[in-house]
Each structure stands twice: as structure tokens, then as C-alpha cells.
Amino acid sequence: MRIQYNTLKNKLLFDRFYAGKTLFYKKCNNYYYARVSSFDRLFDILVIGLGIFKPELTQTSENMWDNTREKERRKIKIIQDCVFMGKQMLNERKNEFFQAEVNCSPPYMKCFYITQKSIEVFITEILLPMLTLVYNASDYKWKKINGKKGFWRDYNNSEQFPNSGEICIDQNTQRQIIKLS
């Protein structure tokens, strides 16, 4: 199963899988408000709701096919890393994601929200790469690079280069690095 933009957008805005309601709702014409209080919780709900992480498989027998138990356990660490990176990426682009032209009154309870004009960028540049990372159970060592947004890792030429990928040379190590995308 490959995670696709339309599937994720439907899960966020139209699918009534979260307690019989959509995960995001509109209270005004400028923001989408989530029914959860933080990005952490939003990401956890998406990972489980999309079937990317299955907690029940972390306790299966060792004779399970294709090392499923170890893969699901590795996903726990990757989910934690993605939540940390997601918060950092949202923070470095907070003007784009959290400030609309018009300030609206907040909802009655504390919740995660995002501007309506930035929902597509939020899905394509933050959620999709991270959910794909969890799905593939790819545990890389991510780092920040001075002067560049996002997270980067070492890249070797034997890997397949993604269509939306960005590569540069790390000035300290002179090695190729690739951006999370």
C-alpha cells in the first residue's frame, strides 16, 4: 500500500473514522481545526487509522512471516522521530501554517489547527514524507543543516532518487545528503 495525497486528504477532511466525525473541521473560512489537541496525537491517529502501524503485530510470535514483529517495533521509534521532526518543521514554517490573513476566534477547547490555504503543503511536505518513512520502516539518522529548512540524511548513489527529492553537499563532511521529502 502506497500512501497517496488523495487518501490522506480524504482521511483528514471527509472520512468519519474518528469517533464518527471528521478529523478536521471548519469553524471559519481561514482555518481547519483538528479534533485533537496536538500534532503528536494527530500523527498517531493517522498512522493507526491508515493501517501503517498495527500495534497488535508487536506482540506476535517470532515465527511470524517476514520479521513483522521486529518491523512493527522499529516503527515505534520511527513514529517518535517523525513527531519530533514534524514539530520542528511546523515551527520553522509557523507563519505559513498557523497565520491566516484574518485572525479568527479559537475554538472552545485547545486544538491543533492549520490555515486552509496551507493544507495541501502540510499534507505533501510534512505528512506524506513522514507517513511513508513509517510505512517503509526506514530508520535513518536525520539532522538539521544550517541555512536549509527541513531534515536531511546521508545519501548513497545506490538508492533510488525520489521525484521530489532534493540533494546537496554537506559543507562539513563533503558527502551527499538528501532532504526528507
Task: Give me the average pLDDT of each 10-residue run along the chain (181 residues).
Answer: 86 89 88 91 93 82 69 91 95 86 65 91 94 90 86 82 77 83 81
pLDDT at 11: 92
Write down the pTM of the prediction.
0.86
Q: What are phi and psi of 168, to 5 degrees?
A: -145, 175
Distance between CA atoms of residues 130 and 170, nearest Å: 22
Amino acid identity, residue 46?
L
Q: Measured between alpha carbons, how far is residue 95 from residues 34, 64, 143, 176 in Å?
A: 18, 47, 22, 30
Distance between CA atoms of residues 144 and 148, nearest Å: 8
Q: Measured between alpha carbons, how far is residue 90 from residues 44, 83, 136 in Å?
A: 16, 10, 23
Q: Output DSSP code: residue 44.
A: H
